[in-house]
Structure 1
């Protein structure tokens, strides 16, 4: 493990011919090649016929992401099955689980909330904008001091690209997966690009269709209901019978919904995951006036953290991206990518197949960084919401009667 660490440390500081670590993996649906898989549904521009004018117009509607890419020298149609942001979130979730299980020590922020008898927690490993999220900006420490005015909060708030030590010491995963301090008003906002990137695509997709509806076992009578102060009541016909809002019964969870055609899954020829850890990104991180040993060990530790997240999230025999998209790992290659020769990048296998191996490398890197002067707390920075956030969260979980269903 020491030899692997030394090579990683040299690459992360630009002192070797290694420019990146790359993961290439092949998957297939758990039901077998040719079975449909479900891409994420996103808002896309669609062309529809305007019934009033008869002309085409563009509207926003649900869709899937298709594009062309060069694969093996050919322009190939692909469908995105998991984008970079989503893959990063999967790594962060896996890291947080390892922290909760006591398998790894990763400093992080933790916002604790009690709402309607529920104990809730948000960390920079699962917040939308990581440690720069507005939830942490609007948080308080145990003494009621605004987080941005605490020692840790002020250090993170005032950090610049010339010295990211506060992030290495308090929220290191932010430096791996990228941050943008867009919630604090200033002319120059801190941005740190991600050094780890991963993406999953399906090649040569064929779109499918599906028909979805709902059967009401008791054949609920009437097509419409009226919302009332204490719930709802059935009404006859479609006209307004009282003071409440009149809706179709299906909007409050009752009645029949006839099957209607909608987007289905896609069938693909192959599924690929491509991940990279860019050494140039790690080399670009600056740590102020820290000693060379600290800088070298810090960059190596971040590289080991990225590899640990990748292995925790993707080394398993199968992954679930979402309902209808369970995938089986059929092949994987992890490799060093170095300076090219005669127009071809030089690659060499990197033996780091399991999460256990990645955890061993990470612990070795952590011990070396601590020897170089890095201090990592085993406990998170604990925070609580301010009054406004607490009130808003309470509203989110408060039961306020019958609501209209947003969709089936």
Structure 2
């Protein structure tokens, strides 16, 4: 049975006061290799240990009514079950933002019209750009706050001041300069007062229902082995002098922590009483093999995997862009169209992480809440359709006089001291 595509009229009607609460897109997924394959969930740090996030969720399923024949309609039943978080809200939003940015890089007509802010760092290999869709706090991220516009601190710039001084009564400055903050959320967390706090109107996640539902299943998770094989030599141990020469040659390429660790090992070996047997392992600079070992957090078996997106129209209705309600509705519809485009682009590329290759078991189920328990189904979101929807919303907002999206960019020069002292080491 054919389904209707969601339209701009649907969005406009439901971002008005009293409209539907949410639009959802729910998809059943499965391991790409088949039901026998395990998947690697997201890892988190708890008490300095790498762990998975387990929860109890109410899982609804369709089952045959045992009292009826095999041809009987399915009935819905549900119960609490143990699940594991495969991809978190923050990670899913990052994927949506990255998908939009990728569309801009490929020159997609709708994506290139979205306003953005860019901080540019000058490096020895040329300029490097980071957009407000890549940085954690969007336009209020520390990289922007530490930057410069026309040689002066960004905090002295009138356009940036207007962004930071946005209020619930008028978010127009953000809408036309850095709208990502209005959809994905932002927090001007280091400002001493008048902080802009915006919750994300779009949320998403992927969960896996554990195949093993017995008590303590989360403590019996599979472990994965890891190793490194050196085709030249299984072990490379050098005299302190030789190791010091190697480390000094690579000093500019090694992280500060790695450099210190190797030099400490060299110093300890140099002080050894028996100089003939005092050697330093070169494994710290990538030489020699590492024996296989089992990590505590490997992968889990799931009998069901569910991806869900929720676009909160109720959240968008909290945003205002002045006193004119026609402008408010047009702006909210524009942000809703951007949210649907973000979902479609994120769903198009099922790229999660290593050992977590997934495929869709069925088409996404898209539903609009119409209040009082009524729901309206729509066809699955596609990039092609939501691109057109976004272009229509951009034109509608322009006619309403609330937004003029033409791919404008707010450019910021990055603080040179930040990039000069940046390393790839994990935060402490």
- The TM-score, its normalising length taken from structure 1, stands at 0.84
* Aligned pair partner of 2:223 in 198, 203, 209: 209
Match of 1:266 in 2: 300
User: Which moves more between the two structures, 96-105 or 75-84?
Assistant: 96-105
* Aligned pair partner of 2:355 in 324, 328, 345: 324
Sort the Cα spacing of 1:115 and 1:93 in 2 relative to 1 into closer, same or farther, 3 A: same
Match of 2:43 in 1: 41
Higher strand proportion (structure 1 or 2):
1
- Aligned 8 A contact 2:186 2:197 in 1: yes
Task: Please state whether the residue corresponding to 1:322 is helix, strand or coil.
Answer: coil
Match of 1:382 in 2: 411
Sort the Cα spacing of 1:178 and 1:238 in 2 relative to 1 into closer, same or farther, 3 A: closer
What is the CA deviation profile of residues 175-194 of structure 1, one whole-angstrom value per residue up to 9, with x for unaligned ones?
111111102222x4221111
Say what the alpha-carbon RMSD is for the aligned residues: 2.8
Match of 1:132 in 2: 140
Match of 1:54 in 2: none
The offset of 1:243, in angstroms, is 7.1
The offset of 1:2, in angstroms, is 11
Aligned equivalents of 1:2, 1:256: Cα separation in 2: 56
The offset of 1:74, in angstroms, is 1.0
Unaligned runs of 5+ in 2: 61-77, 213-220, 250-261, 273-277
Task: Please state whether the residue corresponding to 2:293 is helix, strand or coil.
Answer: strand
Match of 2:254 in 1: none
The offset of 1:308, in angstroms, is 0.4
The offset of 1:238, in angstroms, is 9.9
The offset of 1:352, in angstroms, is 4.5
Sort the Cα spacing of 1:349 and 1:220 in 2 relative to 1 into closer, same or farther, 3 A: same
Sort the Cα spacing of 1:169 and 1:140 in 2 relative to 1 into closer, same or farther, 3 A: same
Give yes or no for the alignment of 1:60 onto 2:48: yes
Q: What is the aligned length?
A: 372
User: Which moves more between the two structures, 83-92 or 211-220?
Assistant: 211-220
* Aligned pair partner of 2:58 in 52, 67, 70: 70
Aligned equivalents of 1:156, 1:320: Cα separation in 2: 34
Q: Aligned ranges for residues 220-369 of structure 1 at < 5 Å?
A: 220-223=234-237, 226=240, 227-228=243-244, 231=247, 240-242=268-270, 248-262=281-295, 263-289=297-323, 291-314=324-347, 316=348, 319-331=350-362, 332-340=364-372, 345-369=373-397
The offset of 1:396, in angstroms, is 3.3
* Aligned pair partner of 1:10 in 10, 13, 35: 13
The offset of 1:347, in angstroms, is 1.8
- Aligned 8 A contact 2:29 2:304 in 1: yes
The offset of 1:161, in angstroms, is 2.0
The offset of 1:246, in angstroms, is 7.7
- Aligned 8 A contact 1:180 1:189 in 2: yes
What is the CA deviation profile of residues 338-361 of structure 1, one whole-angstrom value per residue up to 9, with x for unaligned ones?
213xxxx32221235311000010
Sort the Cα spacing of 1:397 and 1:192 in 2 relative to 1 into closer, same or farther, 3 A: closer
Give yes or no for the alignment of 1:85 onto 2:90: yes
- Aligned 8 A contact 1:108 1:170 in 2: yes
- The TM-score, its normalising length taken from structure 2, stands at 0.80
What is the CA deviation profile of residues 24-77 of structure 1, one whole-angstrom value per residue up to 9, with x for unaligned ones?
101111111221111122102xxxxxxxxxxxxxx4311111111111231110
- Aligned 8 A contact 2:115 2:407 in 1: yes
Match of 2:399 in 1: 371
Aligned equivalents of 1:261, 1:95: Cα separation in 2: 38
- Aligned 8 A contact 1:224 1:238 in 2: no
Sort the Cα spacing of 1:205 and 1:43 in 2 relative to 1 into closer, same or farther, 3 A: farther
What is the CA deviation profile of residues 132-167 of structure 1, one whole-angstrom value per residue up to 9, with x for unaligned ones?
1011111112x2132232232011111122221111
Sort the Cα spacing of 1:363 and 1:225 in 2 relative to 1 into closer, same or farther, 3 A: farther
Aligned equivalents of 1:256, 1:37: Cα separation in 2: 27
Which runs of structure 1 show a deviation greater than 6 angstroms over 4 or more consecutive aligned residues? Answer: 243-246
Aligned equivalents of 1:221, 1:261: Cα separation in 2: 20
- Aligned 8 A contact 1:38 1:264 in 2: yes
Give yes or no for the alignment of 1:180 onto 2:181: no
